[in-house]
Structure 1
């Protein structure tokens, strides 16, 4: 039994998996999953009951919350579960993917894991969009070539920027699935439709760039993969074929920490 954790800047999610082999191919059997609210879950009084029930033999973690959080998480897991936490790291190459960064340690490990998982699913080029506190867009080219990417503020960050630096643009969040993106005729609609429109605009431009690159390389149309907390919302608003893969970051842990 393996516990996998995806610790973001504000929230974390987890899953417990049992790795089984079917006709020589490792398959991940998810036996339990959950998510934490914003905050430092490792300071709480109790850990999720499923962790204590299944008592995982290993824990592998994607952490972008900083070194202090990493040390605290490792200590809590060692104390309560008796396991040594295995943290994923970015390397120049892994799982057939070559990192575009010359300083690989500057690439967020969550971005790296999502790209690795995307390539494991299919060797075809892809735009991998992780819609969290920040929205990251990573371009995976032909033959496992990571082409770099973009980072833009997520929906929550953009809203907080409007709250802090404006007077009349403080509106309540309203993001129903499949919502209209027509121009707002009230400030509330103008904000709530404008924020996802900005993210979708970034996705469109990045996808167009990758399409052109693939055409020049003689490759077909790339895939669009969405993950992260706001992935489902943005998937409901876009106009391109996509795959919504909520566990994409955790899927990559099997490659960095086999």
Structure 2
């Protein structure tokens, strides 16, 4: 039985998982990522923490047969990643990039090499799960929205600041607007008779900022769904990944145009895509 080790290196988090050859890329069982973890990408810059990560993974897992990774954090981080396991120097490393071929899929990106590796991996992961017209949304540091046709064609997508970046930019570039803590605000107003749902207009500065940032994200999702319909590829499913996936999933349910669709937060879509791609490659 073979074991494959996968790394998704993003701007905020470095995630890893190991899967066995007996497992299925279409399996959505929560126990799929039994061997997995994550650390902040910033902490990965520390040689001491890299050594700790290497030691932890090497002691937790049997020696893998192959390692696959997608990285959007730069060449220096890739070098650090590939130096993690000197004791496994005979293992082949496979880097997925935006122009990595995957049988049954193609992108309409003008220059596929410029397509983010994380976006392409997530698209492959979505394809492994279903063959329908799909919006793939990664709600992380940035929010990416991509349309994948049931025919396996990636029709393109959008990149916009994530929820946290939107809120931080308002605080950083204005004189009087605060940095709102979403969770603290919602917790404080859950039992208040004066609390306003985020689908309404805000009646306080905090509500105006939270609601405005949410509306910007949802407006982009709605627009993407309308465009997909105009292109004769009406959206049949929405996959949501990333730290803000649950937030957007709850908001999407408020809109009849989207609430009729299967809308599902799913963890590890990039890792799943890496896995599916690696299986084809080896």
TM-score range, shorter chain: 0.7 to 0.9
Instruction: Please tell me whether residue 150 in structure 1 is matched to residue 158 in structure 2.
Output: yes
Instruction: Encode CA deviations 1:134-161: one digit per residue, 9 max, x unaligned.
Output: 1111111241111111111011211221
- Aligned partner of 1:214 in structure 2 is 232
- Aligned partner of 2:102 in structure 1 is 94
**Deviating more after overlay: 236-245 vs 60-69:** 236-245
Structure 1: gaps of 5 or more residues: none
Tell me which of 34, 39, 46 is aligned to 2:37: 34
- Aligned partner of 2:268 in structure 1 is 247
Instruction: Please tell me whether residue 229 in structure 1 is matched to residue 243 in structure 2.
Output: yes
Change (3 A) 1:237 1:46: same
The normalised TM-score by structure 1 is 0.87
Structure-1 separation of matches of 2:26 and 2:139: 28
Structure-1 separation of matches of 2:165 and 2:26: 38
Structure-2 separation of matches of 1:5 and 1:142: 27
Report the Cα offset of residue 252 of structure 1: 0.7
On the 8 A contact 2:6/2:275 being kept in 1, the answer is: no
- Aligned partner of 1:159 in structure 2 is 167
**How many residues are matched?**
251
- Aligned partner of 2:143 in structure 1 is 135
Helix, strand or coil at the partner of 2:231: helix
- Aligned partner of 1:52 in structure 2 is 59
Instruction: Encode CA deviations 1:174-205: one digit per residue, 9 max, x unaligned.
Output: 14599931221111111122212211111111
On the 8 A contact 1:95/1:116 being kept in 2, the answer is: no
**Deviating more after overlay: 30-39 vs 66-75:** 30-39
- Aligned partner of 1:108 in structure 2 is 116
Structure-2 separation of matches of 1:125 and 1:52: 42
Instruction: Please tell me whether residue 257 in structure 1 is matched to residue 259 in structure 2.
Output: no
Structure-2 separation of matches of 1:237 and 1:54: 39
Report the Cα offset of residue 40 of structure 1: 3.4
Structure-2 separation of matches of 1:81 and 1:194: 49
Structure-2 separation of matches of 1:51 and 1:170: 44
More strand by share: 1
On the 8 A contact 1:128/1:137 being kept in 2, the answer is: yes
Instruction: Encode CA deviations 1:69-102: one digit per residue, 9 max, x unaligned.
Output: 1111111x23365444322122374131111112
Instruction: Please tell me whether residue 199 in structure 1 is matched to residue 217 in structure 2.
Output: yes
Helix, strand or coil at the partner of 1:206: helix
- Aligned partner of 1:7 in structure 2 is 9
Helix, strand or coil at the partner of 2:151: helix
- Aligned partner of 2:197 in structure 1 is 180
Helix, strand or coil at the partner of 1:229: coil
Structure-2 separation of matches of 1:127 and 1:226: 8
Alignment root-mean-square deviation, CA: 2.5
Helix, strand or coil at the partner of 2:202: coil
Change (3 A) 1:73 1:135: same
Structure 2: gaps of 5 or more residues: 191-195, 254-258
